[in-house]
A and B are shown apart, each in its own frame.
Chain A
C-alpha cells in the first residue's frame, strides 16, 4: 500500500485519462483522435516543465513561488524577440540565472524559500512588464514547427527528453543528494553532503525548466503576455501535490509531478466535454486537488494500520 502513495500521480492520471476518454466519447459520439491528443500534448507541455522544476525544489523541502515570475519574464523576452535561436539560448540561460539567484539567497542567505521566491517573484514579474508592457510579440514559424508543431507530435520528443533527463539525474550523485537533503538536512550535512550547493543547483534547475516552459508557451500560443506566468505558481504546486511528492521533502518523484501536470490539464477537458459551466472550473480543480491528496494519505494510513 505504501507503493500506492508513491504512485499516486500515475493512478490519478490513469483515472483522469479514463474519465476524459469516456466523457469525450459519450459527448461527441467518437473516441478522441490524433488531433485531440496532439492538442493536449502541446497545451500541457509548459505546465509539465514548470512542474518538473518545482518538484526538484519540493524534493529538497523547499518551494519556488518565483516560477510565475521567471515564466513571465522568459515569455516576454521570447515573444519580444520573435524567438530567434540565439535569443532562445539566452532566455534559457537567463531563466537558470534567475533560479540561481533564488538558490543562492535560500542556501547562503538562509532566508526561507517561500519568502525568498515571493520577493523575487515580484522582481521578475516587474522585469517582464518592463520588457513587454503590452501583450503581443511573435514567434518564428520554424521554432513553432520544432517545439509544438500543430500537425506532428514533436512535443513527444521533448517530453521524452525531459523524462530521460530526470531518469539520468536521479541516478547521479546530485540526484541522490537532492533526496538526502530533503529527507534529513542535518544528517545529510553530517555525512558530508554540500547542502548549500545542492540547494543552489536545484533552484537554478527550476529556473531553467521555467524558461524552457516559457519558450514552449510562446510557441503554442504564438504571442506573449507579461502576466503569462502567474497561473503557473499555483498549478505547478498542485501538480507536484497530485503527483505524490511530499511537501516535507525527500519523498516522491519528478515523474509523479509530470503525471500530475497532465492530469490537471486533462481535468479541464473533462469538465469541458461534460458540459460543465467553465465558471465552475476552479471549484472542481480545487476538489480534485484535495481529494487526490486525501486518497494518498488514506492509502498511507491503511498501510500503517496493516503494518501495525
Chain B
C-alpha cells in the first residue's frame, strides 16, 4: 500500500470516528451497516473508474451504463426469480459491451477518452429513454426479482460480500498478475511500456470493458437495494466515482493507486454525507461542505509535484 492510500485510510477512520462522536447510533452496527451498503455502490463504480484512471483515462459514461444495465435487468427479469440469471447476464453483458466500445474508440480510433465516454453516455441515455419510452409502460414490471432484494437482508447483508469479492478481484488483478504490472506500466509511461512489449491498446480496451462491467454491477445492486429501476439512477455517480478515486489516493495522471485506498475514499464520501444528514444540515450546506472536504483532502495529499 502506498503512502497516499495510507492517508486515505486514515482520513476515512477520522471521518468515521468524528461521525461516531457527533451522532449517536452512527457507531452501532445498524448505523455502520447502512453506511457500508451505500458506500458499496460508490465502491463499485469507483472500481471501474480507478482502472481507467490508472492508465490516465477517464470514464464519463458510468451514469448511463449503470442506468441502462438497471433497466435491462428489470425489463428482462420481470421481477421473476427464475428469469434472474438471464437478466443478470444481459445486464452485465450490456455494461461490458458499452465498455468495450469505449475502449476500442479510445485505443484504436484515437478518440480522446473524455469525448468517447461522453458520447457513449449520451448514446446510452437516448437508447435507454427511447426504448423504455420513459418508463411510462405500466405493466412492464420494473421491479427487482426477490433473490436480488435478499442480498440486502440480514445483519451481514450478502451485498457487502459481493463488494468484498469485487475488492479481492481488483486487488489480485492489479497486484498479483502480469496484467496488473502492465496496467501500472502503461499508466506510468505508455511509450516506455509499449517499447518494452506491453500491448498498451489491449490493456486499455480491457480496462474500459471492466469499467463498463463494474458500472453495470452497481446498477444491478442499486436495483436490488431500491427494489426497482428509475431513470436518472446513475447521475450522482459520475462525479462521485471520480471523487472517490482521488480521495482514495489514486493519481489522476495515472500509474499510481490501489483499490484499498478507493474503498477508504468511498467510505469517506458516504460517511461525510451521512453525518451531515444526521446533523440535519440542509442540502445546500451539505453540497458546500462536501466540496470543501474534497478540496481539503486534495490539498493534503492530492497535489502535483512542483515544476522546478
User: Nearest A residue to B109 by beta-carbon distance?
Assistant: A294
Which one, A111, A112, A126, A279, contacts B284 given CB within 8 A?
A126
Using known A-B contacts A126-B287, A127-B284, determine if residue A109 contacts B299 with beta carbons closer than 8 Å. yes
Contact string, B108-145, partner A, CB cutoff 8 A, digits 1/0?
01111011101111111111011001100000000000
B122 and A118 contact, CB distance less than 8 A = no
Chain A positions 104-131 with a Cβ under 8 Å from a chain B Cβ: 105, 109-112, 114-116, 118-130
| Inter-chain contacts of A112 with B (CB < 8 A) | 252-253, 302, 304
A241 to B60, CA, bound (A): 15
Asked if B29 CB lies within 8 Å of chain A CBs, one says no
| Inter-chain contacts of A289 with B (CB < 8 A) | 115, 118-119, 122
Asked if A275 CB lies within 8 Å of chain B CBs, one says no
| Inter-chain contacts of A127 with B (CB < 8 A) | 284, 288
Which one, B60, B126, B302, contacts A283 given CB within 8 A?
B126
A119 and B303 contact, CB distance less than 8 A = no
A110 and B291 contact, CB distance less than 8 A = no
A115 and B298 contact, CB distance less than 8 A = yes
A283 and B299 contact, CB distance less than 8 A = no
Which one, A126, A247, A283, A285, contacts B291 given CB within 8 A?
A126
Asked if A133 CB lies within 8 Å of chain B CBs, one says yes
Which one, B111, B125, B284, B285, contacts A290 given CB within 8 A?
B111
A114 to B295, CA, bound (A): 12
Asked if B169 CB lies within 8 Å of chain A CBs, one says no
Chain A: minimal CB distance from B225 (Å): 24
B126 and A293 contact, CB distance less than 8 A = no
Using known A-B contacts A129-B284, A282-B126, A283-B126, determine if residue A119 contacts B295 with beta carbons closer than 8 Å. yes
B121 and A286 contact, CB distance less than 8 A = yes
A133 to B282, CA, bound (A): 10
Chain B positions 291-308 with a Cβ under 8 Å from a chain A Cβ: 291-292, 294-295, 298-299, 302-307
Instruction: Tell me which of B174-182, B210-218, B238-246 binds A.
Output: B238-246
Chain A: minimal CB distance from B130 (Å): 4
Asked if A221 CB lies within 8 Å of chain B CBs, one says no
Asked if A238 CB lies within 8 Å of chain B CBs, one says yes
A120 and B295 contact, CB distance less than 8 A = yes
A14 to B80, CA, bound (A): 51
Chain A: minimal CB distance from B268 (Å): 13
Asked if A160 CB lies within 8 Å of chain B CBs, one says no
B291 and A111 contact, CB distance less than 8 A = no
Contact string, A266-282, partner B, CB cutoff 8 A, digits 1/0?
00000000000101111
Chain A: minimal CB distance from B48 (Å): 17
Contact string, A282-308, partner B, CB cutoff 8 A, digits 1/0?
111111011001100100000000000
Chain B: minimal CB distance from A288 (Å): 8
A297 and B130 contact, CB distance less than 8 A = no
A280 and B284 contact, CB distance less than 8 A = no
Chain A: minimal CB distance from B38 (Å): 18
Asked if A237 CB lies within 8 Å of chain B CBs, one says yes
| Inter-chain contacts of B124 with A (CB < 8 A) | 286
| Inter-chain contacts of B299 with A (CB < 8 A) | 109, 111
B114 and A247 contact, CB distance less than 8 A = yes
B134 and A279 contact, CB distance less than 8 A = yes
User: Nearest A residue to B61 by beta-carbon distance?
Assistant: A286
Asked if B201 CB lies within 8 Å of chain A CBs, one says no
A186 to B129, CA, bound (A): 46
A120 and B303 contact, CB distance less than 8 A = no
Using known A-B contacts A116-B298, A129-B287, determine if residue A121 contacts B122 with beta carbons closer than 8 Å. no
Asked if B150 CB lies within 8 Å of chain A CBs, one says no
A126 and B126 contact, CB distance less than 8 A = no
| Inter-chain contacts of B116 with A (CB < 8 A) | 290
| Inter-chain contacts of A279 with B (CB < 8 A) | 126, 129-130, 133-134
| Inter-chain contacts of B121 with A (CB < 8 A) | 234, 286
Asked if A189 CB lies within 8 Å of chain B CBs, one says yes
Chain B positions 273-294 with a Cβ under 8 Å from a chain A Cβ: 283-292, 294
B112 and A247 contact, CB distance less than 8 A = yes
A234 to B121, CA, bound (A): 10
| Inter-chain contacts of A293 with B (CB < 8 A) | 111-112, 115
Chain B: minimal CB distance from A207 (Å): 15
A277 to B288, CA, bound (A): 38
A277 and B286 contact, CB distance less than 8 A = no
A122 and B119 contact, CB distance less than 8 A = no
| Inter-chain contacts of B283 with A (CB < 8 A) | 126, 129
| Inter-chain contacts of B134 with A (CB < 8 A) | 279
Using known A-B contacts A289-B115, A289-B119, determine if residue A125 contacts B287 with beta carbons closer than 8 Å. yes
A238 to B111, CA, bound (A): 13
Chain B: minimal CB distance from A261 (Å): 15
Asked if B199 CB lies within 8 Å of chain A CBs, one says no
Which one, B105, B287, B302, contacts A115 given CB within 8 A?
B302
Q: List 21 A-B contacts (CB under 8 A).
A: A65-B239, A110-B304, A115-B252, A120-B295, A121-B239, A122-B239, A122-B290, A126-B288, A127-B284, A129-B283, A129-B284, A279-B134, A282-B122, A282-B125, A283-B130, A284-B126, A285-B126, A286-B121, A286-B124, A287-B123, A297-B109
Q: B residues touching A (Cβ–Cβ < 8 Å)?
A: 58, 60, 105, 109-112, 114-116, 118-127, 129-130, 133-134, 239, 242-243, 246, 252-253, 283-292, 294-295, 298-299, 302-307
Report the 10 A-B pairs with minimum CB-CB distance, sorted nearest first: A283-B126, A286-B122, A126-B287, A122-B291, A126-B288, A123-B291, A290-B119, A129-B284, A286-B123, A130-B284
New contact pairs (14) apart from A281-B126, A290-B120, A297-B111, CB-CB < 8 Å:
A111-B298, A112-B302, A119-B292, A119-B298, A120-B295, A122-B288, A128-B284, A238-B118, A247-B112, A279-B134, A285-B126, A289-B118, A289-B119, A293-B115
